[in-house]
Structure 1
Amino acid sequence: MSARAWLGAAALILVLLALARPLDHDESQYVAAAVLTAHGNLPYRDFAYLQVPLQPMLFAPLAWLLGDWAWPGLRVVNALLGTAAIAFVYRAAREGGAAAGPALLGAGLFACTDILLFSIGTARNDALPVALLAAALPLVIRTANDRGTCWSALLAGALLAAAAAAKISYALPAAAYGIYVLFDRRHRPLWVAAGSLPIILFVAASFSWNPHGFMFGVFEFPAFAPGDYYRDRPWKMSWLAKLLDTLKFLALGPALIGLLLTSRVRWRGKWGRARSGRAIDWMLWAGIIAALLPFPTWRQYLLPILPPLFVRLAIGWHASPPGRRTRIALVVFACAGLAPSVEALARAVLGVPMIEAIRQGKAIRAAMDTGAVTGPVATLSPQFLPATGRLPDTRFATGPFYFRSRHLLGLKIEAVDRFISRDTLAAHFARPPAAILIGGESKWTSGDAVLDQALEDWAKRNGWRSIPVTGGRFRLYIPPSLHSP
């Protein structure tokens, strides 16, 4: 099978997996951000966003075009971005002198990691930055082989800066390459810097929309929210838990054995001098540091490690193919990496989660039509709202993630930055939403039903009227002043 046919088959499988994978409350803020931006809102200024700002700006036109289908559509987009990342790993290995066989092996093993498959199977913010990082690697390698141009250096700088502007953890591999080019002038540091400049200016502009909201969402919330959330489970924030989680996630696929093998790989063949591969090494080590910095560790945090790792292995295997025992170990670990996705596909035989989400969306829309709901909706599950034709209340744009926190911000700052927590719900609901939607933050979306209960309790205490929603998973509440037609 040719590389193109192999990648085409991979794209089809990844799209099917994206539709079959269980629903995840992690998707809430990313779908909400894309949809709100599509309707003219800006991150930090008009709604809270707990990441760097590039993804909602790039995905807003897609969310506008997809309309009611924004949530499943964004899952498909992420699956295609994951396919692109796999293709760029293959292309980078080929640029480094690997034959088609080793290059396909490296790309295939990358595709068999649960880290990648989970990250690109949901509407999160992982697929875009890993695709941008992987797209930069062929350009970096081409320059290392003395075949780069000013334009390739310009594009490499833009891609790496864009990856960092889509997810902050990718700033470390990007910075590592930026530092490396200062020592290896073949990489044209001025052109790399020029490529990154427009992205830096964009991020600076987004900072100006609301400096405090930007700093809190990008830096402070990731630093303090985990400790706040796990305060009754401090072991989750320990180094021992980090070690066990890291090993577990790496072992679900060939990443763990790849890291063990990479020290044995030497830059040979078309790489010429040993220093030719050092840029990839710098990015790999920076990715490892970026993965280990946050507490606790989740599988998607390890994603920046994988593209440079499998490119490096593929190039090394061209000169020294893996032995029989190594190949057996790689197959075993690859099967382990595929197992969670195979399980998701098997479960989808009984019911495709995304089809269920679409069905629920239609039921919610009918209930909102019955209740004459036209304004923004308060819900911890804003990913369900595109199918209803309604927008989320901007104070709930982060889904459950700020709502579940305690005492991270004062009441006045919450009002300015458009945050709301369960402790300050009553104070902020002096300006109530048009409706309250309950039911999407629960076990069936990997969520916590206690958080939804806090919203429902407020609605009941204040006499809001319940509108039936077909299917039994959701409850819709409207203000007592509204009457059914």
Structure 2
Amino acid sequence: MERFPPLPCSPAKAGAQSGHPPSRVNILLMLAALAILFITLALLRPVDHDESQYVAAAALTAHGLLPYRDFAYLQTPLQPYLFAPVAALAGPWTWPALRILNALLGVVTIACIHTAARTLGAKPKAALACAALFATCDILLFSIGTARNDALPAALLAAALPLIVRPAITHKTAALAGLLLASAAAAKISYAFPALAYGVYALVDRRHRPAAILLGTVPVIAFVAWSYATSPAGFVFGTFTFPARAPAEYYALRPWKTSLPAKAIDTLKFLALGAALPALALVARDAWRRRTVGLLDWLILAGLIAALLPFPTWRQYLLPALPALFVRLSMIPPPSRAWRIAFATFAIAGLAPSVAALADSDGLSLTQAQREGRAVGRTLDRRGLEGPITTLSPQVLPAANRLPDPAFATGPFYFRSTTLLDASQERALHLISRARIKLDGSTILTGGEGPATSGDASLDHALASAARDAGYDAIPIPGTRFTAFRPPARAPASPQPVPHNSP
């Protein structure tokens, strides 16, 4: 295992040899423009039902409930705690606020890639070009355009790169790198692969100060251990069992989707929507010619393994490999004209899905979803319906000034399960499945799960049917897709016989 070969000149000399690097003011202006662009795209991108559990988790945590202990969360635990203050401050604007936050984290990720490339010794134009190419990848644009849990770990991973590619690594920078990489894994488990890859690499190349790295991970390890202690069964199910077993159950009737040929096609497709595919090819060719595998190469490989292990592979799964990939790309001499044309072509292709999403007339806009959420709140207020709401679309509830029923905090994603847990386990882990719908008297809200949100309308139909069968009253929400169901009025208790002292 060899370290990436050092450059023959320092970053400062590299900048001098290639002309004046962009000034700090110019870089800040570019980042500000990028932030405006990303925020605009995030606010205009149609709604995706993937956002449901992340908005719900932030809102519930903001109100003092704990992931795993009080509601199910199907990821590692860090994001709800970090995003809860944003949800508390944003209130009814929680959903768009989380999208804006993710867009800004995307800007941070790009800035850190540029910084890492310059720290490693890349020329100013090369560092800027590679950061720009990364910004065109659909893998990134989707991940930072929705209220999912992809942007935070990517930013944490990218923030560690300038620290670990330094020629001289101090105890302080090593500990900070350990903290950042461990935090990325605590936000999304797939980022544990690059984190572990760096830890193993540091054991071989001792200049990376493995003891200091380990020390930096201690606060995160303690936090994760505490999260586990709050509900061991809930933690294991949310972070390991559900991700491992749920896809096979969900795609049981579509086995092609979880096949190796489908994985190969999907992976190539997602990499080709942006410059990641030619970048990977060029980096692999360069590593082959050098006959060396450096630190960044190991991080790329670890990120790809993290992406390819789950079935099926989705575009956001490939994000852990990209920060190191584009930093590594910046160290390759300028490619030929044919390569430059290929990079430009793939970069344009990476923008196409975002343009298509913005032009999709069948998609539901965030503005409309927020408007519908407010309409839901007004209708419930008029009817005097308070308390948590049972719904597969908990992301609309902050706008309605309501919280989701904790048993439905995962949106449609556990509800569509049938065999992952039995009835007693569901009760213990605050979950309800379609196979065992149990209504507790909460108000029910249906209509948000369907094709307009990349969802399955049959799930909402099942919940609505259960409500009707239980005697709930349907209350259409004017001007929206939603219908609320009011629980039947409880019959007054029968009068108890008055005790008397007759013999």
Query: Do both proteins adopt the same fold according to a TM-score greater than 0.5, normalized to the shorter chain?
Result: yes
Matched, 1:416 2:425: no
Shift of 1:482: 8.2
Residue from 262, 280, 290 that aligns with 2:296: 280
| C-alpha contact (below 8 Å) 1:371/1:478 kept by paired residues | no
The answer for the alignment partner of 1:299 in structure 2 is 315
* CA 238–267 in structure 1, closer or farther in 2 if over 3 Å, else same: closer
Correspondence for 1:23? 47
Residue pair 2:273, 2:347 contacting (<8 A) in 1 also:
yes
> CA separation in 2, counterparts of 1:291 and 1:351?
27
Among 33, 38, 62, the residue aligned to 1:9: 33
Q: 2:102 aligns with which of 35, 54, 78?
A: 78
Change (3 A) 1:314 1:340: same
Aligned equivalents of 1:3, 1:338: Cα separation in 2: 22
Alignment-mate amino acid for residue 192 of structure 2: A
Shift of 1:22: 1.0
Which residue, 193, 200, 209 being the options, matches 2:221? 200
Aligned residue in 1 for 2:237: 216
Name 1:257's counterpart in structure 2.
Answer: 278
Please tell me whether residue 464 in structure 1 is matched to residue 476 in structure 2.
no
Q: Which amino acid aligns with 1:125?
A: N
Match of 2:456 among 448, 454, 463: 448
Structure 2: distance between partners of 1:158 and 1:53: 15
Whether 1:88 aligns to 2:108 is: no
Larger CA deviation: 194-203 vs 2-11: 2-11
Q: Are 1:330 and 2:346 matched, yes or no?
A: no
- Cα separation, 2, equivalents of 1:421 and 1:28: 16
**In the alignment, what sits opposite 2:9?**
none
Q: CA deviation at 1:274?
A: 9.3
The structure with the greater share of residues assigned to helix is 1
Change (3 A) 1:221 1:352: closer
SS of residue matched to 1:290: helix
Q: Whole-Å Cα distance in 2 between the matches of residues 159 and 260 of structure 1?
A: 28
Q: Which secondary structure state, in structure 2, belongs to the residue aligned with residue 29 of structure 1?
A: helix
Residue 82 of structure 2 corresponds to residue 58 of structure 1: yes
| Equivalent residues of 2:55, 2:95 under 8 A apart | yes
Instruction: Give the Cα–Cα distance (whole angstroms) in 2 for the partners of residues 85 and 251 of structure 1.
Output: 20
The alpha carbon displacement at 1:463 in A equals 1.5
Mapping 1:207-246, distance limit 5 Å? 207-246=228-267
Equivalent position SS for 2:445: strand
Give 2:199's aligned residue. Answer: 178
Percent of aligned pairs with the same amino acid: 58
Q: 1:190 to 1:267 in 2, by over 3 A?
A: farther
Deviation sequence 1:95-134 (CA, Å, 0-9, x none)? 0101211001110010000000001100000000000000
Summarize the Cα distance change of 1:6–1:354 in structure 2 as closer, same or farther, 3 Å threshold.
same
| Aligned amino acid, residue 299 of structure 1 | R
Take 1:344 and 1:362, find their aligned partners in 2: how far apart are those partners? 24
Secondary structure of 1:73 counterpart:
helix
Deviation at 1:263, TM superposition (A): 2.0
Aligned-pair distance for 1:383? 0.2
* Letter of the 1:309 counterpart: L
Q: Which residue of 1 aligns with 2:416?
A: 404
Instruction: Give the match for residue 340 of structure 1.
Output: 353
Partner of 2:404: 392
Q: What is the deviation of 1:345? A: 3.5
CA distance in 2 between counterparts of 1:463 and 1:102 reads 66
Displacement of 1:3: 2.5
> Which amino acid letter does the alignment assign opposite residue 404 of structure 1?
R
Aligned match of 1:380: 392
In the TM superposition, residue 432 of structure 1 has moved relative to its aligned partner by 2.6
SS at match of 2:286: coil
SS at match of 1:436: strand
- Contact kept, 8 Å, 2:408 with 2:432, in 1: the verdict is yes
Q: Using the alignment, how far apart are the partners of 1:167 and 1:469 within structure 2? A: 36
Aligned to 1:367: 379
Q: CA deviation at 1:264?
A: 3.1
**Across the two proteins, how many residue pairs are aligned to each other?**
467
TM-score, normalization by structure 2: 0.90
Partner of 1:168: 189
Asked whether 1:104 is paired with 2:128, we answer yes
> Would the aligned equivalents of 1:153 and 1:192 in 2 still touch at CA under 8 Å?
yes
Contact 2:46 2:363 in 1 (8 A): no
Match in the other structure for 1:432 = 441
Q: CA deviation at 1:49?
A: 0.5
Stretch deviating more after TM superposition (335-344 or 202-211): 335-344
TM-score, normalised with respect to structure 1: 0.93
CA–CA distance in structure 2, aligned partners of residues 27 and 130 of structure 1: 17
* Unmatched runs of 5 consecutive residues or more in structure 2: 1-21, 492-503
Per-residue deviation at 1:6? 1.9
Tell me which amino acid in the other structure corresponds to 2:118: R
Mean Cα deviation higher: 255-264 or 294-303: 255-264
- Correspondence for 2:326: 310
Query: C-alpha distance in 2, partners of 1:117/1:295?
Result: 22
Secondary structure at 2:390's aligned position in 1? Answer: strand
Instruction: Give the CA RMSD over aligned residues.
Output: 1.9
Residue 266 to residue 98, structure 1, CA distance change in 2 (3 Å):
farther
CA distance in 2, matches of 1:39, 1:336: 42
Alignment partners' CA distance in 2, 1:119 and 1:250: 14
CA displacement at 1:347 relative to structure 2 = 4.7
Task: Provide the rounded CA distance (Å) in 2 between the counterparts of 1:204 and 1:366.
Answer: 42
1:321 aligned partner: 334
CA contact (8 A) 1:371 1:482 kept: no
Provide closer, same or farther for how the CA distance between residues 482 and 16 of structure 1 changes in structure 2, counting only shifts above 3 A.
Answer: farther
Give 1:327's aligned amino acid.
Answer: R
What SS does structure 1 have at the residue aligned with 2:59?
Answer: helix
Amino acid in the other structure paired with 2:236: M
